[in-house]
A and B are shown apart, each in its own frame.
Chain A
Amino acid sequence: MADPTIQAGPGEVPSIAEEDAAFYHQSAVNAAWTGARLALGALTFIFGAFAFSYFYLRSVDSSGRWEGSGYHPPSMVTGTVIMLLVLASAGVHYGVLQRIKAGRKRAWQRGGAITLGLGLAAVGLQITQLATLPFAPGSSGYSSVFTGFYPVFLTSQLAAGVWLESLLARSRFIPEMSFVEQPPTHAEVYRVQRFQSSLSAFSTVWSYLALMSLLFWLLFYVF
């Protein structure tokens, strides 16, 4: 994509309005990148609070009740399926992201819908699992961290899902050709670039959530 700051033709001086628009457009694109990384920082600290709780309570083992007597683990199959759904969702999106970078909007739209579907399936399955756990939430340290963590995680997933849905909706109004070659107006160029920056930011957050899903699956089901 051409440098958006260069509005006027060679040798021409851009107007003030063009300069303003280009400057703040580029700032917004950069802010999406910064914001996505910063969001990962904030999410890491909130998930970190749960990871800290996990290790703290496990090592302290208050009253011998990290797992407690008569402990029944949550379903390994369900947990693994949920984690695989999240990973598959992130994997699909990573793949179709390359398609839209190559200008294939419709391929991305189809892949995005699959991504959203897989993500929502994971959320739905997680809710089902939480509603049918074989232990009471406060029966042990493990059960507390498990029942406390997953609602926060699936809320994050749902929020990211809303983001993806809005990207899918926005993409309907951008001509496919705009992803292939530079649109005729600066407004269209900016719109496409804003969309791409938002999509890239979403992809970062979605992949991060998949990584968290894997890490907490390891904590809750494997170790």
Chain B
Amino acid sequence: MAVEVQPERAEPVSASTKPYFRRMGVHTGLAGAVAGYFLGHWLGNFLSSGYLQNPLSDSNDVPIVLGYALATIGWLLGLGVFNDLFGTMLGRPFPDREAADGAEAGLGKYFRFTLNHKTVGIQYLFGMIGYFLTGGLFAMAIRTELLSPSYHIMGPNQYLMVVGEHGTMMMMMMSSVVLGPFGQYFGPIMIGSKRVAFPRLEALGFWLTPAAFVILLSGILFGGFPTGWTGYEPLATEAKQGMDSFFFAFGLMAVSMTLAGFNMICTVINYRAPGMRWGRLPMFVWSMFSVSFLQVLSAPVLLGACYMALTDRTFQTAFFTNQLGGSSYLYEDLFWFFGHPEVYILALPGFGVISEIVSVFCRKPLFGYRVAAAGMLGVGLLSFFVWQHHLFDSGINPDMRPVFMLTTELISIPTGFIYLVGMGTFWKARIRFSIPMLFALAFYFNFLIGGISGVFLSDVPADVTEHGSFFVMAHFHYTIMGGLIFAFMGGIYYWLPKMLGIKLNETLGKVHFWTMFIFFNSTFLPLFALGLMGMPRRVFEYANNLQTLNDWVSISSYCLGVSMLIFLFNVVMSTLFWRQREAGNPYRARSLEWQVPTPVPPANFERIPVILASPYEYGDPDAPPVADLNPPPGVVSSAYVGASRGEA
């Protein structure tokens, strides 16, 4: 037989020594994106010249959509995303370059398509901070416009554009705000793994986010979109070309979410270290696991909806055009089938982060561990059965309303489980009021208000009354910003020392916390009152008697913006200039990520650890260590073989 064996790549690939600009990275990606856009735009014009324009919007969107499509492909090609795929199509095995990517020195690796999950986590972290601050700037613009009921700095369409950009930026990009940075960085370490299941898909998931971000912002150049973050039909089909940016960017984020969730699920199921039973899984990992299922199963439906909307706008299908056999309600159904799980995609990671923090700073085992894990799975499952409550006021069959009211109310039960787990952990604890813990406490305070107002709104009479008002807006800002973003900030203060080896300044951190907490509540609590007094969403003029409260809210929002500047100042100064080193385990936490050195070695662990105990056994002097990080040879294989036979 002819020998056709390619030399086996038993040795991992070593790090490249070429200078940054001689390798593929963001610069080549940008070149590919620009070239791709112009090629796509030209191709679109070529294909659709003489093409009947979209009669509802009176525009021809084919060149723009093809431009976005080829720009995205050019971006990914330029980054080198497909290099390994092309190699494998020629028969080469995937090179093992995860550890080499992680070991590479310098900042260049953060601007390249790298496969080490920790590098991807840090890319996500700074990406998400950037997206969040951009969305925040749009919020400032909204509040500036609302300073006066009649004096305007924006026109009505411009205002809608800003509202749409803000809402979409926050709901779309922030879906990965925890799973991206902390999930990708710490998920594998917390389960005792040296790697993830599908590193290329994980990295691709990140590199789609800058493309989505830029495409979403590019909508401004085409006049924006008038639909807010939901893209409702038939308004969307009638909208001008800026609408394409919404659907294309949201579609890209749907792919990103699916890939990130896919990798996380496969990693958690298959890459847990010996002894890491499901009952020992950190609560943060449980939250990532639940959220990943939501992403993998709901984001494809969003992708389908965005695709249909784009074909309606380009190839003249009529999915959502009533007069041509379509239905605008179809879009609403498809969107909210994703949109409501999306709420939990945003909320559950917050609970995961906070559960880690609370246990450490209460020095107590997490109260009701199994209840919390079951609650997370329960929330995830039920979230697929509540989407119609978003259509209570949009023509749903009235007989169906009680069903979805009931399912919506039911979901408060597992959510309450998770919430009460926190309360139970606080009970009789000697709480250390460090910065992460302050954010955790604020999370519970804010989420209580957001959660209770949500249960109130799930009732049909209340929903019909308050639909489209600032009351609803206050509710979801309390759950998303008051919940998720406070948890994200808590996570940054808690985990950044481990990620970067740098500690953020504590005094500035406390100033940041108190200003953020006070002005968050000062901004959003009055919105409940404004909503009850009849202030509608997405309208730039309002009754004169609402001005005082609106001014209060606007000024508070500026102060909230200042608190973000304090945070940004702290991050920049602490990481670039003050550089106060933090090594070891400053919080004396038990979980696995704090047992490895700082900075975390490229392969995370010297050897595969053997997990011995739960990470939450605080306060028990006889508790065994959480893991044996240096098991003698033979232990891992025996534990692993035992586990595979169901003995562990």
Q: Hey, which bits of chain A sit against chain B, CB under 8 A?
A: 3, 5-7, 13-16, 18-20, 22-24, 26-28, 30-31, 34-35, 38-39, 41-43, 45-46, 48-50, 52-53, 56-57, 60-63, 65-68, 136-145, 147-148, 152, 162, 165-166, 169-170, 172-177, 185, 187-188, 191, 194
Selected A-B contacts with CB under 8 Å, 8 pairs: A27-B271, A38-B266, A45-B298, A57-B326, A138-B321, A140-B324, A141-B326, A191-B8
In the bound complex, what is the Cα–Cα distance between A49 and B311 (angstroms)? 15
Shortest C-beta distance, B309 to chain A (Å), equals 10
Contact check, B304 vs A34: say whether CB atoms are below 8 A apart.
no
Q: Are A148 and B298 in contact (CB under 8 A)?
A: no
Looking at the complex, which one of A43, A144, A174 makes contact with B326 (CB distance below 8 Å)?
A: A144
Binding stretch for chain A, among B117-125, B444-452, B630-638? B630-638
5 further interface pairs, Cβ-Cβ under 8 Å (given A18-B637, A147-B315): A13-B633, A34-B266, A140-B318, A144-B311, A166-B85
Given contacts A57-B330, A60-B327, contact A143 B91 (CB under 8 A): no
Closest Cβ of chain B to A220, distance in Å, is 15
User: Which B residues touch A14, using CB under 8 A?
Assistant: 633-634, 637
Contact with A along B311-334 (1 / 0, CB 8 A): 110011111011111110110011
Residues A172 and B4 in contact, CB atoms below 8 Å apart: yes
Q: Is B258 in the interface zone, CB < 8 Å from A?
A: yes
Task: Identify the stretch in B150-158, B193-201, B435-443, B558-566 within 8 Å (CB) of chain A at 4 or more residues.
Answer: B193-201
Q: Which residue of B lies closest to A173 (CB)?
A: B6
Task: State how many angstroms separate the Cβ of B175 from the closest Cβ of chain A.
Answer: 16
- Tell me whether A141 and B4 are in contact in the complex, defined as CB-CB below 8 angstroms, given that A38-B296, A49-B304 are known contacts: no
Residue contact B608 to A23, C-beta cutoff 8 Å:
yes
**Residues on the A chain within 8 Å of B319, using CB:** 53, 57, 141, 144-145, 148
- Residues of chain A within 8 A of B322, CB atoms compared: 62-63
Q: Of A5, A62, A147, which is within 8 A of B323 by CB?
A: A62
Give bound CA distance, A34 to B267, whole Å. Answer: 10
Interface string of B411-425 (1 = CB under 8 A from A): 000000000000000
Q: Separation in Å of the A26 CB from the closest CB of chain B?
A: 8
Closest to A165 in B: B89
Residues of B within 8 A of A162 (CB): 85, 89
CB neighbours (8 Å) of A34 from chain B are 197, 265-266, 269-270
Known: A14-B633, A28-B197. A144 touches B325 (CB 8 A): yes
Residue of B nearest to A65 (CB): B325
A30 contact set on B, CB distance < 8 A: 269-270
Contacts of A48 in B (CB 8 A): 301
**Contact B89 A46, beta carbon cutoff 8 Å:** no
Check if B265 sits within 8 Å of A138, measured CB to CB.
Answer: no
Instruction: Knowing A15-B633, A62-B327, A138-B321, say if A148 contacts B311 (CB, 8 Å).
Output: yes
Question: A144 to B10, Cβ gap below 8 A?
Answer: no
State whether A5 and B325 are in contact (beta carbons under 8 Å apart), knowing that A42-B258, A42-B300, A166-B88 are contacts in the complex.
Answer: no
Report chain A residues within 8 Å CB of B198. 31, 35
* Contact in complex: B633, A5 (CB < 8 Å): no
Q: CA–CA, A52 to B48, complex, Å?
A: 30
Q: Is the CB of B311 within 8 A of A24?
A: no
Chain A nearest CB: distance from B547 CB in Å?
44
A23 to B644, CA, bound (A): 11
Question: With a CB–CB cut-off of 8 A, which chain B residues contact A42?
Answer: 258, 262, 296-297, 300
Whether the pair B325, A23 counts as a contact (CB closer than 8 A) is no
A58 to B152, CA, bound (A): 46
Chain A residues lying within 8 Å of B274, measured Cβ to Cβ, are 23
B584 within 8 Å of A by Cβ? no
* B91–A41 CB distance below 8 A: no
Query: Would B296 and A41 count as touching, CB distance under 8 A?
Result: yes
Residues facing A in B340-394 (CB within 8 A) are none
Q: Which chain A residues border B307 with CB–CB below 8 Å? A: 148, 152
Chain A neighbourhood of B308, CB < 8 A:
49, 53, 144, 148
Given contacts A15-B633, A138-B316, A172-B91, contact A66 B325 (CB under 8 A): yes
**In the complex, what residues of B have CB within 8 A of residue A141's CB?**
318-319, 324-327
Task: Kindly report which residue of chain B lies nearest to residue A62, judged by CB atoms.
Answer: B322
**Interchain CA distance A27-B315 in the complex, whole Å:** 44
Q: Are A137 and B325 in contact (CB-based, < 8 A)?
A: no
Smallest distance from the beta carbon of A188 to chain B beta carbons, Å? 7
Q: Tell whether B607 is near chain A: CB-to-CB under 8 Å.
A: yes
Quick check: B197 and A27 within 8 Å, CB to CB?
A: yes
A35 touches B197 (CB 8 A): yes
A170 to B608, alpha carbons, bound, how many Å?
30
CA of A142 to CA of B318, assembled, Å: 9
Is B93 part of the binding interface, using a Cβ–Cβ cutoff of 8 Å? yes
Known: A6-B637, A57-B325, A147-B311. A38 touches B270 (CB 8 A): no
Chain B residues whose CB sits within 8 angstroms of the CB of A138 once the complex forms: 312, 316-318, 321, 324, 326
Q: Which residue of A lies closest to B310 (CB)?
A: A148
Of B197, B300, B637, which one neighbours A46 at CB under 8 angstroms?
B300
Are the C-beta atoms of B90 and A50 separated by less than 8 Å?
Answer: no
Taking the complex as formed, is B303 at the interface, i.e. its CB lies under 8 A from any CB of chain A?
A: yes
- Residues on B with C-beta less than 8 A from A175 are 1, 3-5
A173 touching B301, Cβ below 8 Å: no
Q: Which residue of B lies closest to A29 (CB)?
A: B270
A22 to B634 Cα, complex, angstroms: 12
**B304 in contact with A6 (CB, 8 Å):** no
The distance in angstroms between the C-alpha atoms of A106 and B258, with both chains bound, is: 36
**A61 to B325, alpha carbons, bound, how many Å?**
6
Instruction: Assess the A49–B305 pair: CB atoms within 8 A.
Output: yes
Residues of A within 8 A of B13 (CB): none
Whole-angstrom distance between the Cβ of A48 and the nearest chain B Cβ: 7
- Does chain A have a CB within 8 A of B518? no
